[in-house]
Amino acid sequence: MGDKKLAQDPAGLWNLVRRQHGVVTRSQLGGFGYGPAAVKHRISSGRLHPLWRGVYAVGRREVGRHGYWMAAVLSCGPTALLSHRSAAVLWGLIAKSRHIDVVVPRIAYRRRPGIRVHQRSGLGPEHRRQVDGIPVTDVVSTLVDLASCVPEWRVERAINEADRFDLVDLETLPAMAATLPPRPGTACLRRLLGCDALTDSGLERKFLALVRTAGLPRPETQARVNGYRVDFYWPDLKLVVEADSWRHHRTPGEQATDHRRDQAHTAAGLTTLRFAETQIRFVPQEVVAGLKTVVARLAARPPG
Q: Which domains does the chain have, with CATH numbers?
A: 1-61 (no CATH), 64-193 (no CATH), 200-299 (3.40.960.10)
Q: Residue 246 has what pLDDT?
A: 62
Residue type, 127: H
Section 23-38 average pLDDT = 90
Confidence of residue 219 (pLDDT cuts 50, 70, 90): very high
Tens digits of residue pLDDT in 105-148: 987 667 888 999 999 988 889 999 999 999 999 999 999 999 99
Q: Residue 3 has what pLDDT?
A: 45
pTM: 0.67
User: Does 51 or 169 have the greater pLDDT score?
Assistant: 51
Q: What are phi and psi of 117, to 5 degrees?
A: -95, 120
